Amino acid sequence: MQSERAEDKPILSESDELLPISGLQHVVFCPRQAALIHVERVWRENSATTHGKILHERVDQPGQDRRAGVIIKRAVPLRSDRLRIAGLADTVEYHEDAAAPDGFRPFPVEYKRGGKRRLADEVQLCAQALCLAELHGCSVRHGALYYGAIKRRVEVEFTEQLQARTEQAVRAFRALVDARKVPAPEPGAKCRECSLAELCMPEACAKPGRAARYLAALSSGLDPASYRGQEAE
């Protein structure tokens, strides 16, 4: 019998629930924010999140269009049984490609409010690509981020490095949810953009690098108690 490759094994947890793809951007942006939203179920709107919500309401209406060589689908449900993630793609363009199993290759497009390309956005988009690849049985090499502030879309290549970083984010997200704990804050410039800043109180009890080390310990399967011991040294 052929042995199962490590990369083909599902990323499971005690709960084995499907994690939301959108949560991956929270984990990459700030582990504490991710825990507050997905563990503590805390949320607060600000002008940025409201603007983003309006932008998504315009594109998250299910539908389909077609132009020369391209089928465009909106609000496309996604799922990966291997990664145990699920979500909704804003838009997926299916481009004619004779090398693809069904003659079309998926090209996901994610809409964002801002105008600055970020790793968190790329990871979320790459997760969508991994779901599409699993669903259609073909490689998905490129996608795009559309930034509303500059009314431009930026193409993203799903390199091996980005795919590895995305799967790492899935493991970290899984560990965070399973731990059911909120890591300490790491104050920084990003806190000014966060709608949860007043609830998070990042300046109150932070130690530099603490949240990142805490999450790394969890995703590596280490006991958080040993992490806290290292903090005290």
**DSSP string for residues in 109-134:** EEEESSSS--HHHHHHHHHHHHHHHH
Q: Rounded CA gap, 65 and 52, in Å?
A: 23
Q: Rounded CA gap, 1 and 18, in Å?
A: 29
Please check the confidence at residue 225 and state whether its pLDDT lies above 60: no
Confidence of residue 82 (pLDDT cuts 50, 70, 90): very high
Amino acid at 48: A
Residue range 108-123: mean pLDDT, rounded: 92
Q: Rounded CA gap, 189 and 192, in Å?
A: 6
Confidence of residue 56 (pLDDT cuts 50, 70, 90): low
Confidence of residue 187 (pLDDT cuts 50, 70, 90): confident
Residue range 46-70: mean pLDDT, rounded: 67
Please check the confidence at residue 5 and state whether its pLDDT lies above 50: no
Phi, psi of 29 (to 5 degrees): -70, -45
CATH topology of domain 6-182: Lambda Exonuclease; Chain A (3.90.320)
Amino acid at 215: L
Instruction: Answer with the residue of higher pLDDT: 124 or 62.
Output: 124
Q: Rounded CA gap, 14 and 130, in Å?
A: 23
Instruction: Answer with the residue of higher pLDDT: 84 or 215.
Output: 84
Please check the confidence at residue 223 and state whether its pLDDT lies above 80: no
Confidence of residue 213 (pLDDT cuts 50, 70, 90): low
Please check the confidence at residue 141 and state whether its pLDDT lies above 80: yes
Residue range 191-210: mean pLDDT, rounded: 71
CB contact at 8 A, 185 and 29: no
List Cα–Cα distances, 33 to 40, 183, 212, in angstroms: 10, 9, 12
- Identify the CA nearest to 228 among candidates 210, 203, 202: 210
Q: Rounded CA gap, 158 and 123, in Å?
A: 9
Per-residue pLDDT at 230: 46
Q: Rounded CA gap, 205 and 35, in Å?
A: 16
